Amino acid sequence: MDFFQKEENRLLFRYNGECVMVMPWGEDALRVRSSLLSDIADGSIALKPQEFSLETMDIVISDERHAKIRNGRITAEFFVQEWGNSLQITYRNQNGDILLREITNGCALSRKARDFKALPGGNYRLKVSFESNPEEKIFGMGQYQQEKMDLKGCNLELAHRNSQVSIPFYVSSLGYGFLWHNAAIGEVHFGLNTTEWVAENTRQMDYWITAGDTPAEIEEHYASCTGTVPMMPEYGLGFWQCKLRYYHQEQVLEVAREYKKRQIPLDVIVIDYYHWPRCGDWRFDEEYFPEPEAMVKELHDMGIETMVSIWPQVDWRSENYEEMKQQGLLLKRNSGVDAQMIFHGNNVFIDATNPRTRKYVWEKCKKNYADLGIRLFWLDEAEPEFNDYDFEMYRCHAGAVSEVGNIYPREYSRLFFEGQQSMGQKDIVNLVRCAWAGSQKYGALVWSGDIWSSYEDFRKQICAGLHMGLSGIPWWTTDIGGFHGGDIRSPEFVELLLRWFQFGTFCPVMRLHGLRQPGKTIVNQAGEEREWTGAENEVWSYGEEAYHIMVKFIRIRELMRDYTRMLMQEAHKKGTPVMRTLFYEFPQDKTCWELTDEYMYGPDILVAPVCYEKAESRRVYLPQGAAWTNAGTGEIYQGGGWHEIPAPIDTLPIFLREGRQEYLIHQI
């Protein structure tokens, strides 16, 4: 019986209606697809087309039950088991070590490594199962709000939510990277007995696997196949000022003028949501922003870029709703009243997967924002934030949301990126609340959503930023101080804010934001209550001591501008994270794989945030293989051990690798 077939650069297995195809896809990498009772579909939802070389690949069919395909340092071995003629695939590196292996197929248990369950309409619920190595450590997968670095043992939803970003790519301590190349809503279980991937609604199986001797090699392989970020503009290297919300034009200008008066460096000021009349109008409300072009010009004259918030919701009362509904440019609820989010009215979401929608929305934003000189957009609500997250209830141009919905935030970023490109803009960076595989190539700067102002949430953001970097998203930031629950009158909150501000200095982008208490109600001239505004959130809003500490760290950020620019160049060229786990730089040091609350800012700066209340010191691990200089004292430590480091409120432990970046010494 001929189970195997060789076609040019691909190895196929066929039996009982299933076809499995494996082929080279990038350096030291394979793409693996399977379909049931249908041809394997061409095309790609995230992976870029790749050329292959006959010099690095090899296909061998040994006998009717054994075959293998090699591409560089990774090999897939096919074994057809005698019970049921079921296929089991094993992946090995160049040394013959097992990287990943499918589960055995069933015997009396009737288990299947690739389990297709038919759904009405022709698609399947798919579960793909692998053996689990209990010693393996797993990192990446996007952003989940949990204080965990090693994801082994975790159950993760493959879906987006406010503050949750599902990017189904991980880096393994065993020396491989894995992308679940499927945008369906689902889940993954990194169990100690098996690893199981589930797509609730899909046409075929599709994943990508690569081998590498270091995490850096794996990350670069992934970036070469899914894309890298553009070069970060100069205004992305400094300090960004934001709050919920600057609700009128003069308020924006007053804050900017005060920064200039005090000679505090400021690169970007952000105008948050509901500066518009209704969601879906995509323009300034004339009552509060009567001369937006003059406002933008004055800010530019001060050397400050303007960023405006964009929401993908369209209020039923919006001036654009009826036309967009008629033209089929909105997401569609399968049944019932089509109100997908209720917030200041009934709203539906634009269909970002539809090219006609992207063209329509960009034309509005170009006319009302970009033509005024605005070059940065804050793409909020990017998941999108359905009221109930019942994904199976909605459809879009690309298909059922349950089947393809996870691409939505990427296509939302694409809308603006391609629009800005069409105007000739090259220095593109847009803040966005969610992402998927490939979002990085559309200038996506992801922030961690509407998180709480607490030390617990602070610690979670450290993990989130590191996982995002390993998921191929090097541009990441967070609301300094948290979004919800920060009272500017509270000494406890001010302490948290300062510790978060110090951490924010060593994030890819440094941005102060939040809904500060106490808030203020806004009522327009027509007597309608508008979205409220929070308390002041500028660096001078928290007292003299806090002011001097925050200004000190803004100036430290400026000192690092050349260094940060270098990191952004690496991210652009190779996909290298800006904010890195210690094991990324020191993979041979086993302790570096265990840490959750310290990290590298680039290759040379070790950051140990103070993330517990009232702490004035903390334990810091310094990796083996380097000497480390305390940036605050100049003291030199040898790597390979733990140290208790003083950290009064005006500083945090920062160490410089082998004495490099000496301009920072005694500044921190």
Structure tokens at 647: 């950290």
Q: Nearest-CA neighbor of 443 among 452, 459, 455, 432?
A: 432
CA distance 537 to 513: 7
Residues 77, 305, 380, 538: which is the catalytic one?
A: 380
Quick check: is 383 catalytic? yes
Q: Nearest-CA neighbor of 243 among 487, 536, 551?
A: 536
CA distance 598 to 580: 9
Quick check: is 351 catalytic? no
Residues 400 and 391: beta-carbon distance below 8 Å? no
* 232-236: Cβ within 8 A, 24+ apart: 232/429, 232/475, 232/508, 232/565, 232/568, 232/571, 232/572, 233/427, 233/428, 233/429, 234/267, 234/427, 234/565, 235/267, 235/268, 235/305, 235/376, 235/427, 236/267, 236/429, 236/445, 236/475, 236/509, 236/568
CA distance 382 to 430: 12
* 302-305: Cβ within 8 A, 24+ apart: 302/256, 302/257, 302/260, 303/267, 304/256, 304/259, 304/266, 304/267, 304/268, 304/269, 305/235, 305/267, 305/268, 305/269, 305/375, 305/376
DSSP 370: G
Residues 348 and 339: beta-carbon distance below 8 Å? yes
CA distance 17 to 119: 17
Quick check: is 380 catalytic? yes
Residues 450, 487, 495, 558: which is the catalytic one?
A: 450
Cis status of the peptide bond prior to 290, with omega within 30 of 0: no
Residues 28, 272, 383, 597: which is the catalytic one?
A: 383
Query: CA triplet 228, 233, 238: central angle to 5 degrees?
Result: 120
Positions marked active-site: 380, 383, 450
